[in-house]
Structure 1
Amino acid sequence: MKSLITTAILATSLFAATAANAHAPTQLEQAIAGEHRSDKNKARDMYRHPEETLIFFGFKSTMTVVEIAPGGGWYTEILAPALKGTGKLYGAHYPDTGEDNYYSKSRRKLEAKLATNEVFSEVELTNFTPRVASDIAPAGSADMVLTFRNLHNWKVDGVKQIFADSFKALKPGGVLGVVEHRMPTSQSLEKNGKSGYFPQQLTIDLATAAGFELAASSEINANPKDTADHAKGVWTLPPVLRLGEQDKAKYLAIGESDRMTLKFVKPAK
């Protein structure tokens, strides 16, 4: 009888330990929930779906990852701690030329942000310039290159170069993950190029021309309520809300933009 009781106790303990381990948060989950992220930034998770998006791309905390044009560091806040100690994060940013322009100011602002918290201590910044060949990471070193909501800034020629830089940085079999404001097929880039949206098929065509293969697409970041036809382009919507109080409730109800989420792969051979 004692043997049966002991066996039952051991079995219960083993089950409890297994259940606890099964629900232990991953490094990515811990990064997303981290106290270093402001409530304002966490409020964007419902629109940007960082965990689902990174899992779709195949993200692992042991990877070497390049984030192109991290801007204010919204995704950097997640990627840096999710890779810290186990992987590597390069932030490919516009260089600081010392000039008083948007690009240099953006670089200095990000550098200041990275200095505020130990979770960013392993991030390495590199330089890139759209339309100019750049080493965003050592050639053939990256498992994954990511860019979020940037293609519209680079225009077609810039996207071509960035995709070429990404191809060079990636290992064979490496992933290029793209999230971008999606221009409806009813609109043309020629007429709507300043709207902040970019065509999905053109994105696929440019990536394919750079040597990539489309591995998968996802509607994780889709928003059917977004018509992409707004007075101040995509910036009419949150979080920018460029019209201020004008029709604010309407645009908050729409939410952030409709976005394509595309996973490309550099062929293994």
Structure 2
Amino acid sequence: MRHMILPLCLGTALAACSPSAEEATEETAAEYSAGDYTVAINDIARPDADREADAARKPGELLAFAQIDKGEIVGDYIMGGGYMTRLLAIAVGNDGKVFAFQPEEFIAFRPEYATEQEEAVAPYPERVTPLRGAIDEPQFPELLDTIVTVMNLHDLYLAGMPEGTGEKAIAALFDSLKPGGTLVVVDHSARSGTGTQDSDSLHRIDKQAAIEALTAAGFELEAESDLYSQPDDPRDANVFDPVIRGKTDQFALRLRKPG
């Protein structure tokens, strides 16, 4: 299992960090690298569409940032087509578990999500358990070491969602983690200062708004990554626009539940 590390020192706080704390953080982070997850990336059960997406989605680097260990119990929250589910299934190893959660709201909007869930979990019956439920009530059957949610946090703030869905769902994720467990969030960046207002129209969320919503629930921000940084993205176009699709600026956050 991963070692506990101290939160990253940010801004002026960097000067206050002792050298030993910085060294401990760097040493632990160095234990994880993209190469550690080659077996997961080369899994024969992964479809061609996944492999074609790898150049942009950088699966090895993301799994390293998430610090996924063998034997972990992991939740893939809002699994979509199953891209992350398939990677996690191999990354956690024979002794690990993955709970792949698909919201009923998504299936109602697009029934293919149900079929895609079934197809994603089928190759891994011993490791992956499919779950369905309300988007703000993911009923994971046991406490998790890690939860990963990729390009879906903004969905909690879509116009069709009941008021308070975001707050309720984030609280549920917090409660679903073991003390010391981590939440990894990747999403499309909105323009700074726009909060959640572009979640429905552009399928984007302001990184600072995301951080504030997550830390308000009790999470502590541990690390940020520029893995998916695209400085040329003006962040004012719908992420499905062919001009920008696959080239959006995205943020990646790793947060920890205290404990």
Q: TM-score range by the shorter chain?
A: 0.7 to 0.9
- In 2, the alpha carbon distance for the partners of 1:55 and 1:235 equals 27
Aligned Cα RMSD in Å? 2.4
Q: Does 1:110 align with 2:117?
A: yes
TM value normalised by structure 2: 0.76
Answer whether contact 1:146 1:176 (CA < 8 A) is retained.
yes
- Of the structure 1 ranges 32-41 and 168-177, higher mean CA displacement relative to structure 2 is found in 32-41
Counterpart code for 1:228: R
Mapping for residues 35-184 of structure 1, pairs under 5 Å: 35-95=44-104, 101-102=108-109, 104-115=111-122, 117=123, 119-131=124-136, 133-138=137-142, 141-155=143-157, 157-184=164-191
Note the residue ranges of structure 1 that are not aligned, 5 or more in a row.
1-24, 242-249
Call closer, same or farther: CA 1:191–1:123 in 2, change over 3 Å.
Answer: closer
TM value normalised by structure 1: 0.74
- Give the number of aligned pairs: 220
Secondary structure at the residue paired with 2:90?
Answer: helix
Q: What is the Cα deviation at residue 103 of structure 1?
A: 5.3
Aligned to 1:5: none
Counterpart code for 1:261: A
Deviation string 1:205-263 (CA, Å, 9 cap, x unpaired) is 11111111111111011111222222xx1001xxxx3xxxxxxxx547xx431111001
- Of the structure 1 ranges 86-95 and 209-218, higher mean CA displacement relative to structure 2 is found in 86-95
Counterpart code for 2:139: D
Max Rg structure: 1
Secondary structure at the residue paired with 2:201?
Answer: coil
Deviation string 1:82-114 (CA, Å, 9 cap, x unpaired) is 2241211011222499xx832554123311443
- In 2, the alpha carbon distance for the partners of 1:79 and 1:203 equals 24
Aligned to 1:266: 257
Give the 4+ runs in structure 1 shifted more than 4 A. none
Answer whether contact 1:96 1:104 (CA < 8 A) is retained.
no
Note the residue ranges of structure 2 that are not aligned, 5 or more in a row.
1-34, 159-163
Deviation string 1:109-157 (CA, Å, 9 cap, x unpaired) is 3114433x3x4542112233234x342342xx21101100012221083
Q: What is the Cα deviation at residue 192 of structure 1?
A: 6.5
Q: Give aligned-pair identity as a percent.
A: 27
Aligned to 1:209: 216
